[in-house]
Amino acid sequence: MAKWIKETFPLEMPDYYLSQERTKGLVEDWEYEGPRRIAVYIYKDSNLLAWNHNYQDLSDKKDPDFQKEQWESLEIHAGIDKYPVEVTFEKDPLLLAAFVQNTVLQEHVPLQKEYYWDGREEIHPTDKKWYNEEHQVYRWEKTRDWMYCHSWPTTPNHTIEISEVTYDPEKGEFVKPYPWRKPHITPHEFLYYYYNIIEEIERYIDIEGDDLLPNKLDLVKKYRDELRDLQNKFEPFLDRPWMIALPPDPRYNEENFKKVDTFAIMDESGFAPLVVTEENLMEMAQKASMSPPQGFSIDP
């Protein structure tokens, strides 16, 4: 039976959530609870971690025959395209925690880090009132006017990009530092989406505006104006667009802000992600009668 441990280790984090830089030296204690050692699987052709392949607890039973039999079973389970390797708390606590504690949710972490429009960052107790018994966000009642928040520290599987972790078979160890968790939206993708919703609300006002009651039309125009004014406000956060909160659309029953950290832009087929280029971004900005921030360009 695997040895179960409850230990704390220093969890290093990038400068902010999903940043690819670590210049601020951010580190906080993380409590790990689980098996002391596990086996994971590595792809033979790339030596990349098979992140979606189940891990196996490893027993510390001091019996050579048992240990040999245990490892032979793992090699069979690995199949022809993978091989098993050991992950221990002593050598790879962050990787171990990312695998074993991958179901830890934000509301399980006592603290949260909040980001504000004026650039402040503060740490407060996690507001568990947001979540129902199924751990789903069901309301946003913020006692502080933050723009974005995440658990503090970030959970291990939201700190590193497990699918890009590489094993070095010659050294018999994982390549470090582990790659940081990758952003899921780029600045130019965000701007394309942002200009698209401005263009859409302008078309709605032109087509439907005459049929709306005056108070309803005023709400829609106020929403349009808030969207347009937002670019100057969010420009300091454009390098981390998943944090930018958009105002609620009064036409729908939305929360008090729109999160864009999980959205996807689809192409005309509706099945594949849209590739945002300099050309189609500028075309969308023109349709919205907007201009990207000064000096902004899409990286080659």
Say which residues have a Cβ less than 8 Å from residue 263's Cβ, sequence separation at least 6. 185, 193
Q: For residues 19 and 300, give the distance between their C-alpha atoms in angstroms, rounded to a whole number.
A: 19
pLDDT at 268 over 80: no
Say which residues have a Cβ less than 8 Å from residue 188's Cβ, sequence separation at least 6. 276, 278, 281, 298
Q: For residues 260 and 272, give the distance between their C-alpha atoms in angstroms, rounded to a whole number.
A: 18
Q: Which of 196, 226, 223 is nearest to 212 (CA)?
A: 223
Handedness of CA 266, 267, 270, 273 (dihedral sign): negative
pLDDT band at 138 (very low <50, low <70, confident <90, very high): very low
Cα 101 to Cα 96, 104, 175, 223, distances in angstroms: 8, 6, 21, 41
The arithmetic mean of pLDDT across residues 104-114, rounded, is 87
pLDDT at 148 over 80: yes
pLDDT at 189 over 50: yes
The arithmetic mean of pLDDT across residues 105-119, rounded, is 88
Q: Which of 21, 15, 38, 19 is nearest to 84 (CA)?
A: 38
pTM: 0.85
Q: For residues 82 and 44, give the distance between their C-alpha atoms in angstroms, rounded to a whole number.
A: 5
Q: Exposed, middle or buried, 153 (CB in 10 Å: 0-12/13-18/19+)?
A: buried
pLDDT band at 258 (very low <50, low <70, confident <90, very high): low
Each residue's pLDDT tens digit, 199-237:
999 999 999 888 888 899 999 999 999 999 999 999 889
Domain boundaries, the chain: 1-103+165-176, 105-154, 187-287
